[in-house]
């Protein structure tokens, strides 16, 4: 949780979509593929009640197959977002969201994959507006994956 200069903690919650694309590098136990991830981020704030962010991250995900039913994942991504939060730390409006993720996925009998990951995120506007001190967050991601093209 980032502690804002306004005197409260900023604790955002992410809702994510995820679309991976065919790998452009693939080994017998590894793969590297591009992905697209639409994001909606909501947070309660004492001054406005509810703040939001939204955008699209594009990135690369590495996958290491440990067993046929267990994968380790690592990803790095970035993309344009809009920030509605009012804070002296970061200008409101257009920002970039940079994400670094490490996780795992387990194949369930139903064919779904249960995935969990730890993500570090930094948002800032690359100096396009002031202030631009950036906001850092850690996220615990839990979800399901399903191959829709198979």
150 assigned to some structural domain:
no
Domain that holds residue 84: 2-145
The DSSP secondary-structure symbol of 132 reads B
| CATH number, position 47 | 2.40.160.20
**pLDDT at residue 139 in the model:** 96
Q: Is residue 80, in this structure, part of any structural domain at all?
A: yes
Asked if residue 87 belongs to a domain, the reply is yes
- Amino acid 43: pLDDT: 93
Task: Report the domain count for the chain.
Answer: 1
Its pTM stands at 0.89
Q: How far apart, in whole angstroms, are the C-alpha atoms of residue 101 and residue 61?
A: 9
pLDDT of residue 9: 86
In which residue are the tokens 């970039």 written? 96
Residue ranges in the chain modelled with pLDDT below 70: 149-150
Nearest one of 124, 115, 116, 119 to 139, comparing CA atoms: 119
Distance set, CA 1 to CA 111, 123, 136 (Å): 35, 13, 8
Q: What DSSP string runs through 26-89?
A: E-SSEEEEEEEEEEEEEEEETTTEEEEEEEEEEEEEEEEEEETTEEEEEEEEEEEEEE----SS
């Amino acid at each position: 949780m980032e502690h804002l200069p306004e005197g409260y903690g900023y604790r955002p919650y992410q809702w994510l979509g995820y679309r991976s694309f065919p790998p452009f590098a693939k080994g017998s136990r590894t793969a590297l593929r591009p992905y697209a991830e639409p994001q909606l981020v909501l947070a309660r704030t004492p001054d406005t009640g509810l703040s939001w962010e939204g955008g699209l991250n594009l990135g690369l995900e590495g996958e290491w197959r440990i067993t046929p039913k267990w994968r380790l994942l690592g990803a790095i991504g970035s993309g344009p977002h809009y920030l509605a939060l009012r804070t002296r730390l970061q200008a409101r409006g257009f920002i970039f969201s940079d994400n670094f993720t490490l996780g795992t996925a387990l194949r369930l009998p139903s064919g779904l994959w249960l995935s969990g990951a730890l993500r570090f995120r930094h948002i800032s506007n690359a100096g396009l507006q002031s202030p631009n001190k950036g906001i850092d967050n850690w996220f615990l991601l839990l979800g399901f994956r399903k191959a829709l093209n198979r």
